[in-house]
Amino acid sequence: MNAIQLRLNGKDRRIDGVAPTTMLLDWLRGEGLTGTKEGCAEGDCGACTVAVRRHGKPAAALNACIMPIALAHGAHVTTVEAADHPIKGALVEYHGSQCGFCTPGIVMTIAALPADAPTDRCSLEDALAGNLCRCTGYGPILAAAADAISAAPSPPDAPPEVGSLDMTANGVRFRCPATEDEFAQALAESPDARIIAGATDVGLWMTKHLYEAAEFISIAGVGCLSSIEDDGETLTIGAAVTHADFMAAIHGKAPGVSELMRRFAGPQVRAAGTVCGNIANGSPIGDLPPALIAAGATVEIASATGQRVLPLEDFFIAYGQQDRAAGEYVRALHVPWGGLCAVSCHKVSKRFDSDISAVMAAFNVTLDGGRVSAAGIAFGGMAETPKRASHAEAALLGQPYTPEGVAGAIAALADDFAPLTDLRASAEYRLKVAGNLFIRDAIERGDPAVRTRLAGRAAA
Ligand SMILES: Cc1cc2nc3c(=O)[nH]c(=O)nc-3n(C[C@H](O)[C@H](O)[C@H](O)COP(=O)(O)OP(=O)(O)OC[C@H]3O[C@@H](n4cnc5c(N)ncnc54)[C@H](O)[C@@H]3O)c2cc1C
Ligand code: FES
Ligand code: FES
């Protein structure tokens, strides 16, 4: 198909002649649907939230500001104008809106929730973690949400399957293949094309750095890569699996990583962004690489001509350089349940929700008679890539896992890392806090009842 096909507020639309990288938000506003607002244009504030329903999936709240319209191919998009939900009246009744700029986004976040979504305070705060209100205060908004959720009407229709997209407009070619063969062939033909998945990084490059490319190939619509396979030993996470789907798969089973995911961005970003995108972007401060390295994950790299699997830690070669040749893509991650369930995570960031880490630590420590018999420890934010703390791991072996017993490992961190100073933290702070996290992990392991976190203790 050479034009975007989507359903907008219940009406089928065919869109051509528009640059496929036009953000959905800009297109909607150009169509006169100006209820959807632009606050930050970077996925942080939620003013641009719309509900998006894809074939075979429930509706999800997404940020329209960083979503190239081509990624809406095949989706049913509902905007605040068409949302028929009691949250609208409840916000009025509870005085949940003052200037009103955030209100359409808040309406759409709540409208995208199922009627049986939990309405306790903590769940509602998590549900609204991607929506910023600068003037009302959250009390009335949470009260309105608690009142309205259970009266939600049925969700918008699921759209039909529409097949792949290959469109060129305004000098940009954008392909959304529906099968993996099609994707791999497209990438083999155009190895310089930009792979795009949830666009929660790439969308920001576009809005903030005015990034342009002549060709994009989306992996997000490749059906067979959007599922998580579980053989009881290993979880296989395909390249199109979102953070939200990953969270659902590990819920109640992997408490440390679940708690990390709760603090990973906000719901709108988690509904679009992919687990494999968080690896493939090669960022030294991504949250999942340290957690999955410590869990013992491997990464599957594929191309039109074959596949190979390597330990995740070996994928990261240097800043901006990963072990991925032209024409190759990250196909999947394989994560052993044993490691995934054992990992404890420590994310240090300025805000609890929706913030990038200054330091991210993941510990997978096995004890035998109170002493460390095996350790897999990885950090983000401490080097030019996510990296294992191999000197610290060696120093832990045979030691009691106590605040005193980790002293040697803390000292060894200086052999593992020479962190940078940047706007998030100084080098000295990073080294100090990384050491302190060993003490916190040992205390938490020793006595799960001790309160070591302001919120969200990763207890089972
Ligand atoms: C508001 C906000 C908050 C955020 N908070 C966090 C946070 O708390 N923690 C955190 O770690 N990150 C955070 N992020 C970053 C981002 O959400 C993640 O990195 C996300 O996982 C990227 O996945 P994506 O599918 O959106 O990737 P995209 O943006 O589509 O792509 C990212 C990069 O990976 C490449 N790529 C994607 N998939 C593949 C593949 N299968 N094979 C090869 N290359 C591929 C693309 O070419 C691109 O270079 C945040 C982002 C935003 C906007
Ligand atoms: S405008 Fe702020 S999240 Fe989209
Ligand atoms: S009512 Fe003004 S930002 Fe929320």
Question: pLDDT digit string (tens) for 327-364?
Answer: 999 999 999 999 999 999 999 999 888 899 999 999 99
Band of the pLDDT at 456, cuts 50, 70, 90?
Answer: low
Question: How confident is the model at residue 3, as a pLDDT?
Answer: 97
Q: Do 167 and 67 lie in a common domain?
A: yes
Q: Do 178 and 325 lie in a common domain?
A: no
Q: Measured from the CB, is residue 276 less than 6 Å from ligand 1?
A: yes
**Which residues, at least 6 apart from 373, have a Cβ–Cβ distance to it below 8 Å?**
366, 367, 397
- Measured by CA distance, the residue closest to atom 37 of ligand 1 is 277
CATH code for the domain in which residue 324 is found: 3.30.465.10
In a domain, 364, yes or no: yes
Ligand 2 mean position, distance from CA 273 (Å): 15
Q: Do 42 and 169 lie in a common domain?
A: yes
Cα distance between residue 439 and residue 450, in whole Å: 13
Question: How confident is the model at residue 460, as a pLDDT?
Answer: 35
- Lining ligand 2 with CB less than 6 A are 38-41, 43-48, 63, 65
Ligand 2 mean position, distance from CA 69 (Å): 15
In this predicted structure, the answer to whether residue 459 has a pLDDT above a threshold of 90 is no
As for how many domains the chain has, the answer is 4
Are 346 and 445 in contact, with CB atoms under 8 Å apart?
Answer: no
Q: Do 49 and 24 lie in a common domain?
A: yes
Ligand 3 mean position, distance from CA 266 (Å): 18
Cα distance between residue 330 and residue 239, in whole Å: 6
Q: Do 24 and 118 lie in a common domain?
A: no
Residue range 114-139: mean pLDDT, rounded: 95
**Mean per-residue pLDDT over the chain, rounded:** 96
Band of the pLDDT at 221, cuts 50, 70, 90?
Answer: very high
Atom of ligand 3 nearest to the CA of 99: 2
Structural domain boundaries, residue 245: 231-340
Question: How confident is the model at residue 157, as a pLDDT?
Answer: 79
**Which residues, at least 6 apart from 450, have a Cβ–Cβ distance to it below 8 Å?**
443, 444
Q: Which of 29, 36, 63 to mutate to test the pocket of ligand 2 (most atoms within 8 A of CB)?
A: 63
282's torsion region: left (phi>0), alpha (psi -120 to 50) or beta? left
Ligand 2 mean position, distance from CA 48 (Å): 5
Q: Do 211 and 280 lie in a common domain?
A: no
Question: How confident is the model at residue 309, as a pLDDT?
Answer: 98
Atom of ligand 2 nearest to the CA of 65: 4
Q: Do 23 and 60 lie in a common domain?
A: yes
Atom of ligand 2 nearest to the CA of 46: 3
Q: Do 113 and 194 lie in a common domain?
A: no
Question: How confident is the model at residue 227, as a pLDDT?
Answer: 93
CATH code for the domain in which residue 131 is found: 1.10.150.120
Ligand 3 mean position, distance from CA 302 (Å): 46
Q: Do 363 and 415 lie in a common domain?
A: yes
Question: How confident is the model at residue 458, as a pLDDT?
Answer: 41
pTM above 0.75, yes or no: yes
Backbone angles phi, psi at 416, to 5 degrees: -85, -40
What is the number of other CB atoms lying within 10 angstroms of the CB of residue 412?
19
Where is the domain boundary, 218, 243, 258?
A: 218
Cα distance between residue 131 and residue 43, in whole Å: 10
Kindly identify the ligand whose nearest atom is closest to the C-alpha of 241. Answer: 1
Kindly identify the ligand whose nearest atom is closest to the C-alpha of 63. Answer: 2
Question: How confident is the model at residue 353, as a pLDDT?
Answer: 85
Q: Do 101 and 176 lie in a common domain?
A: no
Cα distance between residue 77 and residue 59, in whole Å: 9
Q: Do 132 and 280 lie in a common domain?
A: no
- Measured by CA distance, the residue closest to atom 2 of ligand 3 is 99
End-to-end distance of the chain based on CA atoms, in angstroms?
48
Q: What is the pLDDT of residues 289-298, one digit of tens each?
A: 999 999 999 9
